[in-house]
Amino acid sequence: MTDLLNNILFIFERLSWLSVIDILLVTLIFYGLLYWLRGTQAMILLRGVILIVVVLVLITSLVNLPAFSWLVQNSLPALLLAVPVIFAPEIRRALERIGRAGTLIIASNKTTNPKFEQTIQPVVTAVTRLSARQHGALIILQRLDHLDEYIQSGVRMDASVTPELLLQIFYPNTPLHDGAAILAGSKVVAAACVMPLSSSGILNRSPERRMGLRHRAALGISEESDAIAVVVSEETGAISIAHAGRMIRRIDPERLENILIAFFQPVANERIPHWLQRFWPFHVPRKDEQS
């Protein structure tokens, strides 16, 4: 016990403020990597890679196997080169988020559309009616990231946002029913747009299995951009909202309105620095709402 205490004291005596900064930087890097990988299929792959490396190290250190040790030592560099290939989607997503952070710093003086109520109120009203009628819907609200690529996949409209228009778009068996409606400012830019599907696996682990392509598309566009996706389930009429690869389900219209106002009115988050608001969780869901 005395030797252990002496060793600990020896370590602390050698620590300097540069060593502490060095340790903190490494810790932040690993925390950031695990934060971006959480809830994705890449986390399962990462666990598998770590398990294989640990087993190989234990075998080569405990048992004298020269040929096997040579094979492992020459295979590890190839494994390191394979990591960027295996985790390519996650690396690309992380770089996109860093790029968006730079865009936010440049546009920090840019305020949100002062007429955001003209968009939020019709959306909440339409979603409430769609939920009551159990009409499936997917509404994408554009923020800083442009969605031109997805707008081109749908039908251009450039019409003012009204509850009646959104109800007509998502009326069952109409030409614009399938796909998403993209809103920019106070305009419905396009409808019947094709969204990227999420491959994070969050919905697969959900206790509810009633979520299909709409919810995957909502998560997918929230992973690819800073847009906000509002979903109405066709089977249950439940309202969900997705942002930054996270989803909150079974929310009521009043809470939906509060969340949208918090997104489109920066002064609602005065305690959070403006450049951090993009990455700050929009709400800590209750246990019965977590995906």
| Residue 27, domain extent | 2-106
Per-residue pLDDT for 207 more than 60? no
- pLDDT tens by residue, 91-121: 666 666 666 555 444 444 444 455 566 789 9
Flag whether 112 is in a domain: no
The last residue of a domain, from among 52, 87, 106: 106
What confidence score (pLDDT) does residue 211 get? 66
Are residues 123 and 156 part of one domain?
yes
Query: For residue 65, how many C-alpha atoms fall within 13 Å in the half-sphere facing its CB?
Result: 13
Are residues 265 and 188 part of one domain?
yes
The last residue of a domain, from among 70, 85, 106: 106
Measuring CA to CA, which residue among 156, 160, 150 is closest to residue 119? 160
Are residues 218 and 123 part of one domain?
yes
Are residues 221 and 264 part of one domain?
yes
Count how many domains the chain has.
Answer: 2
Q: Tokens 């389900």 sit at which residue?
A: 249
Are residues 94 and 34 part of one domain?
yes
Flag whether 165 is in a domain: yes
Q: Residue 170 is encoded by which pair of tokens?
A: 């998502």
Flag whether 131 is in a domain: yes
Per-residue pLDDT for 209 more than 70? no
Read out DSSP for 201-220?
-TTTTSS-----HHHHHHHH
pLDDT band (50, 70, 90) for residue 289: very low
Flag whether 86 is in a domain: yes
Are residues 267 and 143 part of one domain?
yes
d(CA 83, CA 35): 17
Torsion of CA 94, 221, 108, 259, to 10 degrees: -120
- pLDDT tens by residue, 227-243: 999 999 998 899 999 99
Residues in the chain: 291
Which CATH number do you get for residue 160? Answer: 3.40.1700.10
Are residues 178 and 66 part of one domain?
no
Q: Which phi-psi region, left, alpha or beta, contains residue 201 (left: φ > 0; alpha: ψ -120 to 50)?
A: left
- pLDDT tens by residue, 241-288: 999 888 888 899 999 999 998 887 754 344 444 444 444 444 434 434
- pLDDT tens by residue, 159-198: 999 999 999 999 998 989 889 999 998 899 999 999 998 8
Are residues 201 and 247 part of one domain?
yes
The last residue of a domain, from among 77, 106, 135: 106
Q: Is the pTM of this model over 0.85?
A: no
Q: Tokens 């929230």 sit at which residue?
A: 222
Are residues 158 and 282 part of one domain?
yes
Are residues 52 and 85 part of one domain?
yes
d(CA 216, CA 210): 12
Flag whether 111 is in a domain: no
Are residues 132 and 81 part of one domain?
no
- pLDDT tens by residue, 45-91: 777 777 887 888 788 788 788 888 888 778 777 777 777 776 666 66
Beta bridge partners of 241: 230, 248
| HEC readout, 78-123 | HHHHHHHHHCHHHHHHHHHHHHHHHHHHHCCCCCCCCCCHHHHHHH
